[in-house]
């Protein structure tokens, strides 16, 4: 499958690497590929320069948001939540129409320090904002409730015995995403309903951040025990 | 232990019954005990009249919010979130000072239908509102992340293999609450930190409501798999 992963941070790299490892044809999209590849310093989060990571993943292409999305069957939004709409606008509505758009970002606002605020909440979500902005895309919110390493290696936590959620309006798109999640090793995929249910999936972030603090690690996941 | 359970709905009844069954001396608090006992019709949620439940639980007393709180060592806020501050005000700051105040309510606003909104969010929580309003009380947010039957019978879900959270500023109060939770059968008690972490515990409600919809039952709970 041709997959565009938008975003060059830890989440984008993890997902792109795992999907390429599964045999998919993956291109990472970024605003300015030359600038991304030219960076030689770790970013503010201490993440190694992209070029260093990319050198070890030669099978993964890199292009502009628009180039990556144009050739893809599935587009993964792995950008920072605060920049997601701008990144997708740069990708272009014409390159997203009809496609499965896996939105794995969280609309966290760190501008007032830790803990971040979540915006929007309650009556809207980033997933819905993206669906409204790109009505022809088939948005599926998923994976945003866990850290990047668990997204792509669920077996690393409790042998994979935990849950992942999907929210979206298009049943076929959710099925396609569930297929990718299954390939990544996820075993308990819970369909919450339409894209408005992304509100709940996003609003889990504040407790996720506090559990991270309590455990001293982000390598955990929620399981819906029943 | 002398325990006041404020609230006569399903949550209050479940918790009062379970704590009495454990041998505690429990009194249920309500605004107007005579009016509560005089009701003969099910409430808007279809819950049986309180007097019918109370007839089967003769060991549990009933009194005003203030009478119940005055004699208690531990006060449980099991009122509707929208009415919690009014109920606790009726209980009286002088009857809450120094006491462990287990807040198990959620600030859900159903006035615009389903799904309800959560208010406050992000920068405040019901747990914090209660702590601010009653600075001498030792508030511990807990149990709000599961349905009433699971609060008091955790073994009914996955043999009890799931998690409960505590948030509060007073370590001794959290230890006392953890003791009660353990007696109820909870095995994985996660201390999220001070009372501001109640924001996270409360913001889990929107996804709780959607998982309920997806599973067709509220008899589930979140487990922090790690």
Residue B226 belongs to a domain: no
- In the numeric block, which tokens belong to residue B28? 């249920």
Find, in chain B, the residue whose alpha carbon is nearest to that of A202. Answer: B207
Confirm whether B87 is domain-assigned: yes
Task: Say yes or no: B201 contacts chain A, CB-CB below 8 A.
Answer: yes
Q: Is residue B175 part of a domain?
A: yes
Rounded to an integer, what distance in angstroms lies between the CA atom of residue B8 and that of residue B33?
10
**Burial of residue A26, with CB atoms counted within 10 A of its CB: 0-12 exposed, 13-18 middle, 19 or more buried:** buried
B192 touches chain A (CB under 8 A): yes
Contacts of A205 in chain B (CB under 8 A): 203
Determine the pLDDT at residue A112. Answer: 87
Q: Which residue of A has its CA nearest to B108?
A: A122
- Does the distance separating the beta carbons of A225 and B162 come in below 8 Å? yes
- Residues B185 and B157: their CA atoms lie apart, in Å, by 11
**Is there a contact between B189 and B178 (Cβ–Cβ < 8 Å)?**
yes
Examine residue A224 and state whether it is found in any structural domain, yes or no: no
What's the gap in Å between the CA of A224 and the closest CA on chain B?
5
Examine the pLDDT at B166 and tell me if it is beyond 90. Answer: yes
CATH number at B79 reads: 3.40.50.720
Angle at which helix A126-133 crosses helix A84-91, to 10 degrees, equals: 20
Within a domain: A220: no
CB contacts < 8 A (A, B): 131
Distance CA B211, CA B147 (A): 12
Q: What is the ipTM of this complex?
A: 0.96
Closest partner CB to B222 (pick from A122, A217, A222) = A222
Q: Which residues pair with B44 in a beta bridge?
A: none
B64 touches A: beta carbon within 8 Å: no
Distance from CA of B75 to the nearest CA of A (A): 25
Residue B151 in domain: yes
Domain range spanning residue A17? 2-215
Residue B143 falls within a domain, yes or no? yes
Kindly state the tokens that stand for A186. Answer: 């996820």
The gap between the terminal CA atoms of chain B, to the nearest Å, is: 34
How far apart (Å, rounded) are the C-alpha atoms in residues B135 and B129?
Answer: 10
Instruction: Name which of B115, B196, B215 is nearest A226 (Cβ-Cβ).
Output: B215
Count of domains for chain B: 1
Instruction: Tell whether A221 lies on the interface with B, counting CB pairs under 8 A.
Output: yes
DSSP designation for B200:
H
* pLDDT tens series, chain A, 226 aa: 999 999 999 999 999 999 999 999 999 999 999 999 999 999 877 889 999 999 999 999 999 999 999 999 999 999 999 999 999 999 999 999 999 999 999 999 988 888 899 999 999 999 999 999 999 999 999 999 999 999 999 999 999 999 999 999 999 999 999 999 999 999 999 999 999 999 999 999 999 999 999 999 999 999 999 9
The region, left, alpha or beta by phi > 0 then psi within -120 to 50, assigned to residue B144 is: alpha
**To which H or E segment does residue B131 belong?**
helix B126-133
Searching chain B, which residue's CA lies closest to the CA of residue A108? B122
Distance from CA of A166 to the nearest CA of B (A): 11
SS3 B3: strand
State the average pLDDT for chain B: 97
Q: Note the pLDDT tens digit of each residue in B190-218.
A: 999 999 999 999 999 999 999 999 999 99
Q: How many CB atoms lie within 10 A of CB B91?
A: 27
Q: For position B209, what pLDDT does the model report?
A: 97
Q: With respect to residue B54, please indicate whether it lies within any of the assigned structural domains.
A: yes
Residue A110, pLDDT score: 87
B-chain CB neighbours of A158 within 8 Å are 225-226
Beta carbons within 10 angstroms of residue A158's beta carbon: 15
pLDDT at B43: 82
Q: What local confidence, expressed as pLDDT, does residue A136 receive?
A: 98
């Amino acid at each position: 499958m041709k997959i565009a992963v938008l975003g060059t941070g830890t989440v984008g790299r993890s997902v792109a690497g795992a999907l390429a490892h599964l045999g998919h044809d993956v291109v990472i999209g970024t605003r300015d590929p030359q600038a991304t590849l030219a960076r030689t310093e770790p970013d503010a989060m201490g993440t190694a320069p992209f070029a260093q990571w990319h050198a070890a993943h030669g099978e993964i292409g890199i292009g502009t948001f628009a180039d990556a999305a144009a050739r893809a069957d599935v587009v993964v939004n792995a950008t920072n939540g605060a920049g997601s709409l701008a990144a997708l606008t740069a990708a272009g509505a014409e390159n997203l129409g009809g496609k499965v758009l896996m939105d794995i970002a969280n609309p966290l606002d760190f501008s007032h320090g830790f803990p971040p605020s979540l915006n929007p909440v309650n009556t809207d979500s980033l997933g819905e904002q993206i669906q409204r902005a790109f009505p022809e895309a088939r948005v599926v919110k998923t994976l945003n409730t866990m850290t990047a390493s668990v997204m792509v290696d669920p077996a690393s936590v409790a042998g994979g015995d935990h849950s992942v959620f999907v929210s979206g309006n298009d049943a076929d798109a959710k099925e396609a995403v569930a297929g990718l999640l299954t390939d990544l090793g996820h075993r308990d995929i819970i369909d919450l309903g339409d894209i408005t249910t992304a509100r709940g999936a996003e609003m889990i972030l504040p407790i996720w951040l506090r559990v991270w603090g309590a455990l001293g690690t982000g390598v955990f996941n929620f399981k819906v025990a029943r």
